[in-house]
Structure 1
Amino acid sequence: MVLGVAVADSALADATRDAGERHAATAAAKRVVAADSSLTNRTNVLDGSAIDALTVGELHSEAPVLDGRSVRVTLDDRTVVSDGTPAGGTTVRRIVLVERTQTVTIRPEFTSGNRVTLPRRTRRVDLELNPPENVSVSTVRADDRTVLHTAAERGLVGEYTVSVSRRETVRLDFVANGSLSEGDVAVTMYPRTTTKALLRVTVDA
């Protein structure tokens, strides 16, 4: 009878531990991909830079349910962060998107007038204007919207940052009193790319 009670107690303890692992793993995975998580740009879309830099402390801050447990977070076949040495345990899997921001700089040749269509969609554009002394740029338009303007005789010279629509391909028009050439303007954009990945959160008691 004592042996039977011991076996029953052991089974109950294992079941309780497994339930705790499942709860912690599920809650942590849900928290990592939440819209208000510091690791996402929106629900289920991980910020690539944030997930690459994730530390054990930040993971526990996002998901306190992991405190006191061994945990490992992987993205596809890469371990992102590990605390302790999970041996077995419970793993929760989620299909996610990983979004990364690129930096792309172009120097328009202006072979068809003082305009350029951006090759990628972006939320903002950094402009570096360095026209020759005999050319003055008074206005810059993004599609039909004026984003920069000056009445100064020398015109727009130097570095500027403007916001543009990420929902469509943008054309920049440079209103000037002469023709621009390659090297007069540098345009830096920040397009985002997304890739599908498998997120795994493994928790061991």
Structure 2
Amino acid sequence: MTGMSRCPAHTERAQTSLPALGIALVLLTVVTGLGVSMADAAIAGAERTPDERRVAAAIADRLVSADGPLAARSNVLNRSRVDDFDQSALERSAPPATEYAVSVEVADTEIASSGAVHSGTQITRLVVVEARESRTLTPDLTTTDTVTLPRRSAQATVTIDPPAGTTIWTVRANDRVVLHNRSGLDGSYEVPLIPYETTELRFQRAGSIQPGNVTVSYDAPRSTKESLVVTVDA
């Protein structure tokens, strides 16, 4: 009697565990499916990322190179070229941009893109963005014969309007003679400068000069440090 009384309880427990087993199998199937999907996505991402990184790095290096479409010199971008850069210029200077979705940003502002970039791989380069603004000096040459221009100015316009009885016949830029006329200089002259050095213009003259008889105009550089970011979404 005792042995027979245990059988119904055993059968009941077995029947109760069947639904739990079914739920466990369903959960196992779901978890396995998710795991496989995540693994496939990880493999696909791993395969895509090196290609994106290679392309993004190549485009970034091209844009900051000394002969690149944006550069004034290596890692220094010309502000005017940055402002004029667009999709056509991007695809022309970086052919991979015709095959991939590429975005180029400078100072957190997109300047050009080819295709829609949703995520992708980013490559960042630190650059200097250089703008130029025109400045004019009216040196007081009553007590000195020189005026100093800052570095990175490649050219100056010197305008000479001497008063009666005064002759300016030579202008030197540091040790170089850049203007000379023994009978006298009178008018506006373009003077090439060496942008990597401070330039001292020296006026060789006879007679007195008043403020306004000589003016010097030049392009002054204004530089800011920024980031150039290239994103490639394959």
* TM class by smaller structure: 0.7 to 0.9
d(CA) in 1 for partners of 2:117, 2:175 = 57
CA distance 1:133–1:164, change in 2 (3 Å): same
Match of 2:215 in 1: 186
d(CA) in 2 for partners of 1:203, 1:98 = 23
Per-residue CA distance 1:128-178 (angstroms, 9 max, x = gap): 1112233222111223432211133xx211111122333443322222221
CA distance 1:150–1:95, change in 2 (3 Å): same
d(CA) in 2 for partners of 1:31, 1:126 = 34
Contact kept? 1:103, 1:190, Cα under 8 Å: yes
Match of 2:179 in 1: 148
1:37 maps to which of 56, 61, 68: 68
1:170 aligns with 2:199: yes
SS in 2 for 1:191: strand
Letter matched to residue 198 of structure 1: S
CA distance 1:180–1:103, change in 2 (3 Å): same
Per-residue CA distance 1:74-124 (angstroms, 9 max, x = gap): 1122221223321111111111122223321111122313x2322422232
Offset, 1:35:
2.4
d(CA) in 2 for partners of 1:200, 1:168 = 31
| TM-score under structure 1 length normalisation | 0.84
Which segment drifts farther, 7-16 or 195-204?
A: 7-16
1:161 aligns with 2:197: no
Contact kept? 2:106, 2:228, Cα under 8 Å: yes
SS in 1 for 2:49: helix
Per-residue CA distance 1:13-50 (angstroms, 9 max, x = gap): 44433333222212111111122212112222222221
Contact kept? 1:40, 1:46, Cα under 8 Å: yes
Which segment drifts farther, 8-17 or 132-141?
A: 8-17
Letter matched to residue 211 of structure 2: E
Match of 2:120 in 1: 89
| Uncovered stretches (5+) of structure 1, i.e. residues with no partner | none
CA distance 1:68–1:165, change in 2 (3 Å): closer
Higher relative contact order (CA 8 A, sep 6+): 1
CA distance 1:144–1:9, change in 2 (3 Å): closer
SS in 2 for 1:111: coil
Contact kept? 1:70, 1:203, Cα under 8 Å: yes
Contact kept? 2:101, 2:117, Cα under 8 Å: yes
CA distance 1:136–1:49, change in 2 (3 Å): same
Letter matched to residue 125 of structure 2: R
1:138 aligns with 2:169: yes
Letter matched to residue 150 of structure 2: R
1:50 aligns with 2:81: yes
d(CA) in 2 for partners of 1:172, 1:27 = 43
Contact kept? 1:27, 1:65, Cα under 8 Å: no
Superposed, which structure 2 residues align to 1:8-47 within 5 Å? 12-47=43-78
Offset, 1:201:
0.7
Structural RMSD (CA): 2.4
| Uncovered stretches (5+) of structure 2, i.e. residues with no partner | 1-32
Which segment drifts farther, 49-58 or 14-23?
A: 14-23
d(CA) in 2 for partners of 1:36, 1:143 = 29
